[in-house]
Structure 1
């Protein structure tokens, strides 16, 4: 896949999966982010923001989700992990899992701090997409929650068949809405639309709207 040409330093992936993480990789951006490779829902994000992610990734709240993915049951986020599981059961002893857990928890704590700093940056744009398309009410609530805890903006990306919208960004209520022709399948998140480039470029150029 050819590289696209938009600088992504101002963008932060917040879900719902790693598709935008792969977009950033195609741009040569390997900066870590709390949710760059995670699964998240608007409800998990709103709860996390309101609680400043306190207690995120506590050992007692982790349960098997996929073979190499664990779910934080306090918030609902899913993260890649070295604590392997199979058929919903851990493969290793608690002692071994705690050994594997410690560096993962340290990384999560660091990324939470980094996330909160980004949240305060008025030039930052937090990007959310889901293959079923985020509903307007959920995007509005998420944007308002972001605004209560920082100055970053929300870019909610959707897919559409409306040719007048594809590749473009417009203000919708409290957030920016971008439109693509399609999202990557969840099983092939790196097979994303090249029109991400156009959406990101327009988002960078979009003026901030004062409520």
Structure 2
């Protein structure tokens, strides 16, 4: 399994914790964000327009904020106990540089036909909506969408192709939102292994992937 081929699109932090077991020093734009399906499709369709603009940010939970420009909810140091910290503008100036860096990395990954973007959903989405998301993921360079669901008749851990750019995997259970780190580790890893086999990479190595860095030079 080449974990560098996978990246999270949400809908919450669960797959971020799965990735963190394999890539403890790496982060990404949406790995720790909340991205409901309509929010994610709009974000990709609009090419990240209005992302993380200061005037659009508002506290939404003890340590998260809502980006009203996109609908994405981010973890942040700007918020404590559901209110902005006193120096939140200064904190924003630091965070916006990281957001810009992670956005650029994600845009580069979306141009890579070897990438597999993972989105999980508790509700069974219509195939047409999943295909819309898959097309948005692949339109830049042919990347693939792996949709993970606990619904359906597939054996847990299995991956099934649905056309050229959409694959559906079955998980035995999702973590609760309050404890997103308590993942079904063995089944998640089985999904990644099966997806690595079924979604064959092109003739490029991981070191050739946009945004990749030599060992020991990873940034968060």
Scaled by the length of structure 1, what TM-score is found?
Answer: 0.87
CA distance in 2, matches of 1:59, 1:99: 11
* TM-superposition CA deviations, 1:10-69 (whole Å, max 9, x none): 101000011111111222443211101111022222222222213200001111111110
| C-alpha distance 135-29 of structure 1, shift in aligned 2 (>3 A) | farther
* 1:97 maps to 2:88: yes
Aligned with residue 121 of structure 2, among 130, 133, 157 = 130
More moved, 152-161 vs 194-203: 152-161
- State whether residues 32 and 74 of structure 2, in contact with CA within 8 Å, keep that contact through their aligned partners in structure 1: yes
**1:161 Cα deviation after fit:** 6.6
Aligned-residue RMSD, C-alpha: 1.8
| C-alpha distance 29-124 of structure 1, shift in aligned 2 (>3 A) | farther
Stretches of structure 2 lacking an aligned partner (at least 5 in a row): 201-220
**1:9 Cα deviation after fit:** 1.0
- State whether residues 7 and 118 of structure 2, in contact with CA within 8 Å, keep that contact through their aligned partners in structure 1: yes
Residue of structure 2 in register with 1:17 after alignment: 12
CA distance in 1, matches of 2:119, 2:50: 23
- State whether residues 129 and 157 of structure 1, in contact with CA within 8 Å, keep that contact through their aligned partners in structure 2: yes
CA distance in 1, matches of 2:66, 2:74: 6
* TM-superposition CA deviations, 1:152-182 (whole Å, max 9, x none): 10000001373x5211000124401011111
More moved, 100-109 vs 145-154: 145-154
* 1:155 maps to 2:146: yes
Q: What is the SS of the residue equivalent to 1:192?
A: coil
| C-alpha distance 191-134 of structure 1, shift in aligned 2 (>3 A) | farther
- State whether residues 49 and 149 of structure 1, in contact with CA within 8 Å, keep that contact through their aligned partners in structure 2: no
Residue of structure 2 in register with 1:169 after alignment: 159
Residue of structure 2 in register with 1:78 after alignment: 73
Task: Give the number of equivalent residue pairs.
Answer: 198
Q: What is the SS of the residue equivalent to 1:205?
A: helix
Residue of structure 2 in register with 1:3 after alignment: none
CA distance in 2, matches of 1:141, 1:161: 20
- State whether residues 59 and 84 of structure 2, in contact with CA within 8 Å, keep that contact through their aligned partners in structure 1: no
**1:134 Cα deviation after fit:** 4.0
Q: What is the SS of the residue equivalent to 2:173?
A: coil
Q: What is the SS of the residue equivalent to 2:94?
A: helix
